[in-house]
Amino acid sequence: MSESRVNLWMVGSIGIDDVETRCEKRVDLLGGSLPFATAAASFYAPVGAVGVVGSDFPEAFTERWQSFGVDLAGVQYKEGATFRWSGRYTENMIDRDTLRTELGVFESFTPELPASYREAEYILLGNIQPQLQLHVLEQACKPRFVVLDTMNLWIEIARPALLEVIGRVNLLTLNDSEARQLSGCWNILECAEKLLQMGPEYLIIKKGEHGALLFTREGEIMIAPAWPVRNLVDPTGAGDTFAGSFLGYLTQVGSITSATLRKALLHASVVASLGVEGFSTERLEGVTMAEIEQRVDALSQMSTL
């Protein structure tokens, strides 16, 4: 594995997925929050990955992942089985049933930060147990902008640890149902206030095909539209792709201002929309920066009133 110094790293799950949609069933796909997030970030900045895979992790997946230029120095290769997830989407292609989850080597995973990542300023704590997010964050020497993603499971079974990590990050991102679950509020503005009181300066509430909202502690609100997707193939990982490209963009520009956050939201919407046009990271593999910029301009045009 290469060991180049990066200014951005991400931790999360790495899995082998089976996904069933209305139209198609695919097995043994590269999945998990980390491949999606890092692949999305790779369009903007060098990015390092922190996670674990088992001895069954196909060499082809490593190659595919590295083809994005992602640094895998933080990926541990352990004896045992890689994390596996399988799910089936309902007719609306939004709701899904989880058919199987097997933790495998993920069960005994303790993330360790390579020396080459320690000085990095930009960090995405992708969706894994909050205890592990905390553990790895503590190894960072000079975090400047830390983004936290999570899911309903941790809100249910690991709330104290989750609240502790929320108190240490700059930006919390979750979807609307998770925001309601964590805050105990229904109204989206009340959700936002409650969640910002937990510590972060910024909050993003993701709404899938309906876009996303960014809230600041100063009361600023930014409304990001979703790109209208014609060819929705597989929504798995869309939230991770969104978070990854969002932070990748900010790493590239190197400043957090109202203007850069707004631009980052546009890029995140666009890269997430590209991602769902294929299974796994397949569609992202062919994407060029020119294609992203073109869609960013078009989306900006659509939403300028």
Contact footprint for its own copies (CB under 8 A): 91-93, 186-190, 207, 209-211, 213, 221-225, 228-230, 232, 262-263, 265-266, 299-300, 302-305
Nearest to 169 by CA among 226, 130, 112, 128: 130
Q: Is the Cβ of residue 30 or residue 214 nearer to its own copies in the bound state?
A: 214
Give me 59's structure tokens: 């060499």
**Shortest gap between Cβ of 174 and its own copies (angstroms)?**
17
Q: Is the Cβ of residue 134 or residue 232 nearer to its own copies in the bound state?
A: 232
**Shortest gap between Cβ of 1 and its own copies (angstroms)?**
37
Give the list of residues 6+ apart from residue 110 with CB closer than 8 angstroms, or none.
132, 135
DSSP state of 209: G
Give me 179's structure tokens: 């925001």
**Shortest gap between Cβ of 266 and its own copies (angstroms)?**
5
**Shortest gap between Cβ of 302 and its own copies (angstroms)?**
5
Q: Is the Cβ of residue 13 or residue 252 nearer to its own copies in the bound state?
A: 252
Q: Is the Cβ of residue 94 or residue 115 nearer to its own copies in the bound state?
A: 94
**Shortest gap between Cβ of 107 and its own copies (angstroms)?**
37
**Shortest gap between Cβ of 225 and its own copies (angstroms)?**
4
Q: What are phi and psi of 75, to 5 degrees?
A: -95, 120
CB atoms under 10 Å from CB of 234, counted, come to: 25
Q: Is the Cβ of residue 10 or residue 238 nearer to its own copies in the bound state?
A: 238
Question: How far apart are alpha carbons 33 and 100 in whole angstroms?
Answer: 16
The 3-state DSSP composition of the chain as helix, strand, coil percent (nearest 5) reads: 40, 25, 35
Give the list of residues 6+ apart from residue 121 with CB closer than 8 angstroms, or none.
7, 8, 142, 143, 144, 145, 251
Q: Is the Cβ of residue 115 or residue 189 nearer to its own copies in the bound state?
A: 189
